A and B are shown apart, each in its own frame.
Chain A
């Protein structure tokens, strides 16, 4: 398979259109399964009670907020190094979904924090660095759209994305580096301290979040390609068909 073949917006447009429905379907099936396990089957947490069920969206959202930023920065690096058109479009397509997951991680964290810590918000290292991530996403989106020439916007935003990667290890290790209210990781490569049903539900919901993010990104990048390439003959033919 020649991967460079799909580096062209014209060929990737069709591929993205064919793949997106499958990812939406997978996201729906996994969400249904994950919610069934997490909300209906999993037992009550001995320490936190029922409010712990927020983790089935909080943890996947927090993971996705970081994963998506990293992937966005990788596309940004490709834009800066190789000046490829599709990489800039992909980075733009990822940013809104990354921002959405970051917001959800903060929001659900607040609604988990109030009954658990007694406060919706504290200036804790984990929370603050996650908030910085949200501002990085906003900055990326604003910068990408601040130029009349979209490719200049791609490059400027790519630079911000690459520099912002420094925030990811800060988010991840904040609970170790600083004395924080936020609990440490319950899941690591060594295993987990969670009940097997809770753990399975969380992994299934994380897989669902991945599938959703991929599906939405593919749909969004198709619109970006149409906006950018609207004068190209292949777009006229693709839209007519």
Chain B
């Protein structure tokens, strides 16, 4: 399969529609990154809560 673009500059320019195309892909990337960070933080909080309860039980 041949690449459609003649140069990297053409690719980034997207025929003058670069702003609209990259704002779309950028938003998706940002949303995915935020979601993945949120997932990691939530799991960390859940594990911390379990550990905290375990320590409280041990103290009692």
Q: Are B4 and A51 in contact (CB under 8 A)?
A: no
Q: Are A226 and B50 in contact (CB under 8 A)?
A: yes
Chain A 106-125 near chain B by CB (<8 Å), digits 1 or 0: 01100110110000000000
Q: Write the nearest CB–CB distance from B30 to chain A, whole angstroms.
A: 10
Q: Which of B1-45 contact A (CB under 8 A)?
A: 1-5, 11, 14-17, 20-21, 23-25, 27-28, 31-32, 35-36, 38-39, 42-43
Q: Are A108 and B39 in contact (CB under 8 A)?
A: no
Chain A residues with CB under 8 Å of B15's CB are 44, 49-51
Chain B residues with CB under 8 Å of A42's CB are 4
Q: Are A220 and B39 in contact (CB under 8 A)?
A: yes
> Which of B14, B32, B39, B47 has a CB less than 8 Å from the CB of A50?
B14
A interface: dominant SS: helix
Q: Are A58 and B35 in contact (CB under 8 A)?
A: no
Question: What is the interface size of chain A, counting residues whose CB is below 8 A from a CB of the partner?
Answer: 40
Q: Are B53 and A230 in contact (CB under 8 A)?
A: yes
Q: Are A223 and B50 in contact (CB under 8 A)?
A: no
Q: Are B35 and A216 in contact (CB under 8 A)?
A: yes
> Which of B1, B17, B49, B54 has a CB less than 8 Å from the CB of A227?
B49
Q: Are B24 and A57 in contact (CB under 8 A)?
A: yes
List of 5 A-B pairs having minimum Cβ-Cβ separation, nearest first: A50-B15, A51-B17, A226-B46, A50-B14, A108-B24
The contact sample of 30 A-B pairs, CB cut-off 8 A, is A37-B1, A40-B3, A40-B4, A41-B1, A44-B4, A49-B17, A50-B15, A50-B16, A50-B17, A50-B21, A54-B20, A57-B24, A97-B35, A103-B31, A108-B24, A111-B21, A112-B24, A114-B20, A216-B36, A219-B39, A223-B39, A223-B42, A223-B43, A226-B43, A226-B47, A226-B49, A230-B46, A231-B53, A235-B50, A239-B50
